[in-house]
Structure 1
């Protein structure tokens, strides 16, 4: 895995200082500790930091074609590069390296932008074409690899894998965007269509951007999208066999590496399935690792050990404290923008453990989104059935009134916490689901913001992106629409950002076989009952894995990485919550109501309410803003 950076002047080919490109690349040195390179020409400069995975001794970047007309800087892996290489050689291409980078150069020469349709991988790259006087930026289908860009005052377009790469350029203005703050407080992450630094954009997943000399910078162009509008036909047995074949291919294609390779193993369905298929394809013992917690209710090590013994893996584990919040500043540096998914703490620790032994690790990320594994999908499907039975006017009056009056019983058993469900039923499906994926409610955000902040937002509302995505989704069913929206926002903004930043922070390449695009396209066509059945998500995936995994692994309740942040703010982080009230960083924006923050901190500390997640959001926001804006 690597880090890329560069500059391009679309209007006038101004000279580019190589030292500036080097500084942008070096700000991301953790992404590529094994080497660096800079290439400049009139009006363009490309930089690269390398983590050597394939063709370790060769394939330096930026890489130029033999005639010098094409130059590329690239982050990622093309898993089908050997097949593409053979196809291009049959067309007359002559290769001088053994890696996958050169495939991009010959592929562009042969197919132009249509090359993207042939690539199976995770990637973000910038390719300069001297003949066409253009720079082509592209990002993989699901958004596994990041790419940020910004238009500068001197006419240049700057790009980098991470925000810190852009901020190494002195012309990037460090001004916070209130709309991104609203988005972050709503979801706990800054979505891919927003950035905390005003003017900076992220190339969306499945999009490309062709910048041509003498023309304005256009909007990105979508080159791939997941389609839920079609349905697969065939028996359960036939679809199960097709799924198993796709899973095998997805895993084995990601096991190609010239450096040590292993897998994360939590003992859940997804990571266990990946390890099972790795063991099937490997001659030697698969290297696996897991972390456990010193609090038994959060610890899944016994399940991970069960899988490790079943497949005779070379297994390592480490126990971390459940109150392991010492990583806060490390995560703030790694993510740049505020990121409040507290499972990032555990993810960083398991990446850290893996890196002691391997350079590449396969994960189980993506199956919940593809096969409807989250509990919220079950709730959304049930709520939609109720909406279909009750007229909208009745729902709004009855459920809305009940929801407003029902107490917010954070302390109560889950079945008695009905306030959120009642409010969701009062709305249409898109509005209800947008609320369900949120962290801090619109009402609480409004209370946190000052009048000046609400005016600056100008009507911008974080949930609207989810509502638009669900209403415009290529879909047939409510479950389709919810999954589609998560592919657009939650997956790239939270799950894949977390995986990329925590792994790259320790110079580890993480690969996600369950996000192979062929597997995603297959899952999107499955009948709803093969994704979600009898309250079980990932139904067909679990059925397909019954030949490999025991039922106590397949059908146990989902845990995931659980972090006890609510307890922290009543214990060791209580002072941190109280300090937010007098934070000069938050107060300096003029956007936050100190009295509301004080009330949240006190109500939480006393046990009158549970505001742990919102307080965690505010802590991470304050530290990120201090780092980004001083």
Structure 2
């Protein structure tokens, strides 16, 4: 079982069950995701089967004796749920969107409105202010139970609160990126692998060294060149990858020593290593999808979606994570998932003719949150006080000079 921050409390890992008998508990894995790309039945087969399964998954999640709505960001995932659902209901669907008043980079409501108008939904929107965001942070920490630093979770709380005024059950688009390979990072990693194959490890190291001297470690080019020196099993740490060097620069020496000792004692990294071991012989994309399904999906996306929706007494349902669709998607050959530079290719082709192309092929945003702008402006004093005040407990662990420069 996985450890938590609470002493004596463990969590049951995904796909496991526990039996307690005579005061002894045993855990057993009863389900795992199996990838099989050995057979290629042609793109049209995977396209049609995926659509059939997604429609069935949506039908199942329509079963409700209470009002039902959809969290509509205006991206392809939530829009697909609306597009495939609109003809199945008698009353107009209720849709809910959230945004920040910081310009178009943080406001997807124009796309949500486009979908709402196309399918005649009963649409509701809310704009969040920096003050609301700041005021909610203490409650967010309390509701999450554990440290999940995900700004989009706060947006999820507010959209759930908005939806609760009208509905009790909501559908959303979580899981699509993990089953159909929607993140740009997958394509970056594939490029790095080709680069490794062309120049070899010694070439990668040479260019990474030059890059560090010219550009500095924080530069994106340098980051990816450095990653190119490592095999996928070492360089891929999931969607929330944050450079170790940047983190360690913050640590006080005695705190870093404690961390290093704890890592040795607990066999730090064994879980990640086992995930890649489970996928031995699979191609690079499948390894990343499996890794993210076991980490990012359950430890970030679903935790925040579940906790924030239940905090407002909304039951959230996620049709893309119907086990039949997830298992089938794992059999789709990787070259059908990323095609012509487009991730999530089966879903995009599936929705052509149903959704506008402006929705299908626009860049993914996903509850964009203007953290940088807020911390530079309206929330600057709040951040400074939290991080730099003399009584901050952070200074027991982190260098005040480094916090100040941040």
Match of 2:263, SS state, is coil
Would the alpha carbon gap of residues 542 and 438 (structure 1) be closer, same or farther in structure 2, given more than 3 Å must change?
Answer: same
TM-score (norm 2): 0.91
Spell out the pairing of 1:253-332 with structure 2 (5 A cutoff). Answer: 253-297=60-104, 298-321=106-129, 324-332=133-141
Quote the offset at 1:467 in angstroms.
4.5
1:337 counterpart = 2:162: no
Per mean C-alpha deviation after superposition, the further-off stretch among 350-359 and 460-469 is 460-469
1:376 counterpart = 2:185: yes
Quote the offset at 1:552 in angstroms.
1.1
Would the alpha carbon gap of residues 319 and 575 (structure 1) be closer, same or farther in structure 2, given more than 3 Å must change?
Answer: closer
The equivalent of 2:293 in structure 1 is 487
Partner residue of 2:160 out of 326, 351, 356: 351
Equivalenced residue count is 399
Whose radius of gyration is greater, 1 or 2? 1
Spell out the pairing of 1:21-40 with structure 2 (5 A cutoff). Answer: none
CA distance in 2, matches of 1:540, 1:408: 39
Quote the offset at 1:518 in angstroms.
0.8
1:428 counterpart = 2:231: yes
RMSD over aligned Cα atoms: 2.3
Would the alpha carbon gap of residues 328 and 408 (structure 1) be closer, same or farther in structure 2, given more than 3 Å must change?
Answer: farther
Deviations 1:105-139 (CA, angstroms, capped at 9, x unpaired): xxxxxxxxxxxxxxxxxxxxxxxxxxxxxxxxxxx
Partner residue of 1:576 out of 358, 382, 394: 382
User: Do the aligned partners of 1:364 and 1:514 also contact (CA within 8 Å) in 2?
Assistant: yes
Deviations 1:307-326 (CA, angstroms, capped at 9, x unpaired): 11211112112222366332
User: Do the aligned partners of 2:180 and 2:347 also contact (CA within 8 Å) in 1?
Assistant: yes
Would the alpha carbon gap of residues 483 and 390 (structure 1) be closer, same or farther in structure 2, given more than 3 Å must change?
Answer: same
User: Do the aligned partners of 1:325 and 1:345 also contact (CA within 8 Å) in 2?
Assistant: no
CA distance in 1, matches of 2:108, 2:350: 23
Match of 2:70, SS state, is strand
Quote the offset at 1:402 in angstroms.
2.8
CA distance in 2, matches of 1:292, 1:563: 8
The equivalent of 1:533 in structure 2 is 339
CA distance in 2, matches of 1:558, 1:322: 23
Quote the offset at 1:409 in angstroms.
8.5
User: Do the aligned partners of 1:207 and 1:223 also contact (CA within 8 Å) in 2?
Assistant: yes
Quote the offset at 1:336 in angstroms.
1.8
Spell out the pairing of 1:202-221 with structure 2 (5 A cutoff). Answer: 202-214=11-23, 216-218=24-26, 220-221=27-28
The equivalent of 2:322 in structure 1 is 516
CA distance in 1, matches of 2:85, 2:280: 34
Would the alpha carbon gap of residues 222 and 360 (structure 1) be closer, same or farther in structure 2, given more than 3 Å must change?
Answer: same
The equivalent of 2:55 in structure 1 is 248
Would the alpha carbon gap of residues 594 and 512 (structure 1) be closer, same or farther in structure 2, given more than 3 Å must change?
Answer: same
Quote the offset at 1:200 in angstroms.
2.1
Match of 1:377, SS state, is helix
Match of 1:535, SS state, is coil
CA distance in 2, matches of 1:510, 1:435: 25
More helix by share: 2
Would the alpha carbon gap of residues 409 and 594 (structure 1) be closer, same or farther in structure 2, given more than 3 Å must change?
Answer: closer
In structure 2, runs of 5+ residues without a counterpart are none
Would the alpha carbon gap of residues 585 and 232 (structure 1) be closer, same or farther in structure 2, given more than 3 Å must change?
Answer: farther
Would the alpha carbon gap of residues 200 and 427 (structure 1) be closer, same or farther in structure 2, given more than 3 Å must change?
Answer: same
Higher RCO (C-alpha under 8 Å, 6+ residues apart): 2
Per mean C-alpha deviation after superposition, the further-off stretch among 512-521 and 430-439 is 430-439
Quote the offset at 1:422 in angstroms.
1.2
1:443 counterpart = 2:245: yes
Would the alpha carbon gap of residues 213 and 314 (structure 1) be closer, same or farther in structure 2, given more than 3 Å must change?
Answer: same
CA distance in 1, matches of 2:216, 2:368: 22
The equivalent of 1:34 in structure 2 is none
1:565 counterpart = 2:371: yes
More strand by share: 1
The equivalent of 1:617 in structure 2 is none
